[in-house]
Amino acid sequence: MPPSSVPAPHRRLVLASANRGKLAEFRHLLAGAPFELTSLGELNLASPDETGTTFLDNALLKARHAARASGNPALADDSGLEVDALGGAPGVYSARFAGPQADDAANNAKLITELCALGPQRAAQPWRARYRCVLAMVLEADDPAPLIAEGVWEGVIVTAPLGSGGFGYDPHFWLPQWGMTAAQLPVDQKNRLSHRGAALRALQARLWARAKW
């Protein structure tokens, strides 16, 4: 086989997360990409404290940490739910809304409890909300030119959880135009519609170019 036809070996790209659901979603979104996607969780590396006050702050913090800890290029997202009736909360605290060690069930329970506790005018359903995702990709921890992209997904919050797919607040994130929650969507459809899919499409051309490290 001539050298020009030998496929380039895949380079490892580390997702700055220990969340298995998020890793599975990114692997699906990045199917066919010219790199091997793994995660901090799979590498048994600790995740950093998310001390940023914005999604961008946290995405960059996590990407640089993952690159430093693994010695590989890294991709991070910081994403969360913004509910208008709660002034944009839980926002950057979405993953730990009910506490540092909270799971999805605890976070969802707190979300619905807080919404139902609002005064009569603000407690009226539907509660407008959106998922927001900011992606950051670095070649190394001190990369001076990180790739950044953002995506938003509009919906409303419903009190009764519906569906068993997805993760996070998906069972309560209702999509009026589709007549179902994010947790009820087939994977392919969710990836076409989601905040994470939108952000990754915005990043994709530059991300593929960077795969030729």
For residue 199, give the amino acid letter: A
CA separation for the pair 46, 69 (Å, rounded):
9
21-44 tens-digit pLDDT: 889 889 988 888 888 999 999 999
Domain segments of the chain as ranges: 3-210
The chain-wide mean pLDDT, for the chain, equals: 89
Task: Please tell me the least confidently modeled range out of 59-68, 153-162, 184-193, 200-209.
Answer: 200-209
CA separation for the pair 110, 179 (Å, rounded):
24
Task: Please report which confidence band the pLDDT of residue 144 belongs to, taking 50, 70 and 90 as the band edges.
Answer: very high
The three-class DSSP label of residue 72 is: coil
78 counts as catalytic: yes
51-79 tens-digit pLDDT: 999 999 999 999 999 999 999 999 999 99
Give backbone dihedrals phi and psi of 23, rounded to 5 degrees, phi first. -60, -45
Structure tokens at 24: 């599975």
76-99 tens-digit pLDDT: 999 999 999 999 999 999 999 999
Q: Provide the CATH topology of domain 3-210.
A: Maf protein (3.90.950)
How far CA 65 is from CA of 22, 86, 104, 141, 146, in Å, comes to 18, 31, 24, 7, 13
**Which of 49, 57, 77, 78 is flagged as catalytic?**
78
Dihedral sign, Cα of residue 36, residue 37, residue 38, residue 39: positive
